[in-house]
Chain A
Amino acid sequence: MSDNNQMVEKYRNNFLKEVEANVEEGDWVKMCMQCGVCAGSCPMGPYWEHTPQELFMMIRAGKREEVLTSESMWMCTSCYNCISRCPRELPITHIMHGLAHYAKRLGIAPKQQATMRFSQKFWDNLMVSGRVNELKLGIALYFLDGFAQGVKNALAASGLGLGMYKAKRLNPMEILGGHSIKDKSGLKAMIKKAQEIEEARISGNNK
């Protein structure tokens, strides 16, 4: 059984409980009093399908599929307006990231979601040397949608690249691997441990 089906089976109709158990800061969702200040404060508000207020209500109403496959929480830019304004002091930004992460973990986040794809590229890039290789990250982004589009993107941005090179903000030699942090294996061990802890928590939830 896939992760997702397991969860559906386990929590049946009680999506709120599922969120509380699995989503980072998810136990705050029940405390929302539906005032709508988060929705009104969000600079991205007009571009989301569902505002945080609506997402919280949908969670309580058990709209599991709609919430987890939504692009809305991926739109959060972490400006923290909602957190600083929420009268009930909900960590809304963190809940948004928590929901996005949970959806991705279950494999039901929208496949072409740009923020998600970028985040994955960023993570993969980071894990190579413990430091973000900006040149490689940039190139990877240009070629996200295929080779032809990548060439077009690169040509369009060539002026910017040249400028950065002249200003010594970009080193073409980074393409060969670039510099890394001192203790790469130490970082890997830390990440591994963190992932182990998380895995244990998830499997604990799934018991």
Chain B
Amino acid sequence: MADELLMGAYVCKGCGIGDRLDCGQLEQTATRDGKAKFAKSHDFLCSAEGVAMIQADIDSGETNHVIIGACSRRAKVEAFNFQNVTVSRANLREGVIWVRPDNDEANETTQEMADDYMRMACAESKFQKLPAGSSEQSLNKTILVVGGGISGMTAAIEAADAGYPAVIVEKAGELGGVMGQLHRRVATTSPYAEPEDTTVADLIAKIEAASNISVHLNSTVTKTAGAPGRFDVDISTESGATSNVSIGAIVQASGMKQFDANKLTEFAYDKSDNVITQLELEALAKEANGGPIKRKDGKEVSSVVFVQCAGQRSDKEGYLPYCSGFCCTASIKQAMYFKDANPDVDTVIMYDDLRTPGAGGEDFYRAGQKKGVIFTKSSVSTIDASGNDLTVNFKDMILNEETSMPADLVVLATGQEPNSGPNPYALDEAKKAAEDAGEEVPSEVEITVDSILNLDYRQGTDLPHLKHGFTDSHFICFPYETRRTGIYSAGPVRRPMDSLQSTIDATGAAMKAIQEVENAAVGAAAHPRSGDLSFPQFRIEGCTQCKRCTVECPFGAINEDEKGFPSFNESRCRRCGTCMGACPVRVISFENYSVDTVGQQIKNVDIPDEFDEKPRILVLACENDAYPALDMAAQNRLEYSAFTRVVPVRCLGSVNTIWLTDALNSGYDGIILMGCQKGDDYQCHFVKGSEIAHMRMSKIADTLETLNLEKERVATYEVAITDVTRTTELINDMAKTIEEIGMSPFKF
């Protein structure tokens, strides 16, 4: 590609653009104001003929920066996908004609809107470069699987079967994990009526037979440095011997542990050997191996009560607030152990809400009922263990009475806790929680668990937690993805789940790991900007070592070198631009997305003077949710103010406050920022971007004050992709606000 900037603008007349707008004038705007080398119109630009016209210009070297004035950048993506040139899109259809009424009164402002979008696209194009790609590329197909339970074994086998060698690191002396301790598993195949083999033996045999899976038993990961495609991992055995492996991507399947039943004093777990947990019953069942199950003192069990939700779904201090999602079917399975050995054993499951997830869940429940397992909707208050036999005191919720029942054995469904490492953001979160609650801010938090990955990252040793210790994941859009690129969590460490879900989860994580290995090999981003070859670059001369970028990067992509300068790990980067938004001296940018590509769009909007009564509203909209919502509003022909100029941003986190200051200084009357939902149930595609942006914007009031402007002029909103009508309302509300408070005095 020639270094010379050759901007070529193309205006489409299709979809009614030609009828509503003066395309000749748009061409003129592009060449005169936008400084495009040439401008052309076409009746139907996305047709084969139109695309061929552009391609011919590219091939003949007429243009290397293509500007397309047509539909939204989200439409006709395949048609306008040109190689080796930059493409900028002016949104004339969804952004202009579809949101404005077709009448004489509106035509003038509609044309002005279109002219501005042409100018903005030209400005963006001018400052955009074609990403040259990272120099860090290397193909390393090896996938590290941390944990050798059913999730880990499945992930390793799936990866190996696809041709990607796997390395399993297991803390215990044998593979199998929790699943290996089970007698049988819940039915996974139709008719979902009988407990099945756990398949652990089969999986182990498969791993032993596989030539491209290596297993490290009695071992832990003691160091993980590097980035996807070039992770540098130390694996140490108990005895201290360390081996070093080079890894492409990592699956963390560190599994679950049982909730500590000793906390359940009301159920006498600590007092009686005959009150046991589900896992302890599995051991008894394994011992009995199909025969009558005996309790610890050797007595054959003739009546057993299963207490569901023991220590779970509770707001009591120290108990689990969530549903573990596997225990109801596990108890049904365990009741079947008794019924299959001897149908005369009384098996009662005391539940509050019976939850049997999965395709076969309901069938399995029914199968349990057919075998004669009794289900009682009840709330167990205490278990009396004064004698050898137990008395379960409970409230029958259907008959609404306090009652009791004798039992030889009580099994507590205690649920699962994730085996995740220490949360790197524990202190920050504790501080924030204390601040919100108005309590004393702690200076440190107690770390009670060992690190699992021992990441050599500036941002902490392990995967960040989302809630209740489960590793972070974008549970709506990208469930396996954590906030550490190239490291995928699978199984009950990610969220509560049963063994069947774990195998599905592990398979998904293995696929994601493979994808990341391939991405890293070409220097391309993982989703949501999948395929993006750009990465953050910074001018070291300007850097003040303020560390904001290293702290705020949601993905831990940026380390610091000895001098405190940021050191980027390109393949850890997700290209959200949060570092760019954070940088107070604006030295961070991407080749195709920078302070200038957006800043110049803002500056190139025509600002009429104060007496024209034509205000300007700048909308910085997240390209993942808010921008599509605006497109959908246009598809529904919802109208919004003709004074609006929308600029899509990668993430609200990439918004640098200089854009706002510049916009206000150059005479914009109002600014709206639209990002995704933040907080625990975030929808932000970059997890923290929206939250960080909201935090930054809460401080913008000071800037407004120094400019002597009303604080209503800048508004930040959380917008979901479904908020189609709301986006237009927010814009129109801002237009109304400007009418009330008057035009900005900063127009020149």
Contacts and interface: CB of A to CB of B under 8 A. Distances in A.
A53 B400 CA distance: 13
Interface string A48-83: 000001100110110000000000000000000000
B366 interface: yes
A57 B370 contact: no
B703 to A, nearest CB: 59
A58 B374 CA distance: 12
A13 to B, nearest CB: 9
A34 interface: yes
A8 interface: no
Given A16-B374, A60-B374, A60-B376, A31 B398 contact: no
Given A57-B399, A58-B399, A31 B369 contact: yes
A31 B372 CA distance: 9
A30 B398 contact: no
B370 to A, nearest CB: 7
Contacts of A200: none
B603 interface: no
Interface string A107-122: 0000000000000000
A53 B374 contact: no
Contacts of B369: 30-31, 33
Interface string B384-428: 000000000000101100010000000000000000000000000
A30 B372 contact: yes
B399 A61 contact: yes
B377 interface: yes
Nearest to A56: B398
B398 A34 contact: yes
B372 A57 contact: no
Contacts of A53: 398
Interface string A160-197: 00000000000000000000000000000000000000
A33 B365 contact: yes
Contacts, number: 33
Contacts of A58: 399
Nearest to A50: B399
A34 B377 contact: yes
Nearest to B398: A57
Contacts of A54: 398-399
A32 B735 CA distance: 60
B457 interface: no
Interface in B341-396: 346, 354, 365-366, 369-370, 372, 374-377, 396
Kindly name the residue among A14, A57, A58 whose own CB sees the greatest number of chain B CB atoms within 10 A: A57
Contact of B366 (A14, A16, A31): A31
Interface string A12-42: 0010100000000000001101100000000
B375 to A, nearest CB: 7
Contacts of B375: 33-34, 60
Q: Report the contact-size class of chain B (Cβ under 8 Å from the partner).
A: 10 to 19
Contacts of A34: 375, 377, 398
A31 B370 contact: yes
Contacts of B398: 34, 53-54, 57
A58 B370 CA distance: 18
Nearest to B354: A33
Contacts of A30: 369-370, 372, 374
Nearest to B372: A30
Kindly name the residue among A30, A54, A88 whose own CB sees the greatest number of chain B CB atoms within 10 A: A30
Contacts of B376: 57, 60-61
Contacts of B370: 30-31
Contacts of B377: 34, 57
A14 B398 CA distance: 19
Given A30-B374, A33-B375, A61 B366 contact: no
Contacts of B396: 57, 61
A30 B370 CA distance: 7
Contacts of A16: 374
A16 B373 CA distance: 11
Contacts of B403: 61
B253 to A, nearest CB: 34
A58 B403 CA distance: 12
Kindly name the residue among A31, A54, A61, A88 whose own CB sees the greatest number of chain B CB atoms within 10 A: A61
Contacts of A60: 374-376
Interface in B165-224: none
Contacts of A88: 366
A88 to B, nearest CB: 8
Nearest to B368: A30
Nearest to A16: B374
A34 B365 CA distance: 13
A53 to B, nearest CB: 7
A180 B403 CA distance: 56
A33 B370 CA distance: 12
A88 B354 CA distance: 15
Kindly name the residue among B370, B396, B398, B403 whose own CB sees the greatest number of chain A CB atoms within 10 A: B398
A31 B366 CA distance: 7
B22 to A, nearest CB: 64
Contacts of B372: 30
Nearest to B351: A34
A58 B401 CA distance: 11
A30 B369 CA distance: 6
Contacts of B365: 33
A88 B369 CA distance: 11
A62 B645 CA distance: 73
Nearest to A58: B399
Interface string B261-286: 00000000000000000000000000
Nearest to A57: B398
Kindly name the residue among A54, A58, A60 whose own CB sees the greatest number of chain B CB atoms within 10 A: A60
Nearest to B374: A60
A16 B376 CA distance: 13
A16 B365 CA distance: 18
A88 B365 CA distance: 11
Interface in B665-695: none
A54 B396 CA distance: 11
Nearest to B405: A61
B367 to A, nearest CB: 11
A30 B374 CA distance: 7
A16 to B, nearest CB: 7
Given A30-B374, A61-B376, 20 more contacts: A16-B374, A30-B369, A30-B370, A31-B366, A33-B354, A33-B365, A34-B375, A34-B377, A53-B398, A54-B398, A54-B399, A57-B376, A57-B377, A57-B398, A57-B399, A58-B399, A60-B374, A61-B396, A61-B399, A61-B403
**Which 8 A-B residue pairings sit nearest by Cβ, starting from the closest?**
A57-B398, A31-B369, A30-B369, A60-B374, A34-B377, A57-B399, A34-B398, A30-B372
24 contacts: A16-B374, A30-B369, A30-B372, A30-B374, A31-B366, A31-B369, A31-B370, A33-B354, A33-B365, A33-B369, A34-B377, A34-B398, A53-B398, A54-B398, A54-B399, A57-B376, A57-B377, A57-B398, A57-B399, A58-B399, A60-B374, A60-B375, A60-B376, A61-B376
Interface of B: 346, 354, 365-366, 369-370, 372, 374-377, 396, 398-399, 403
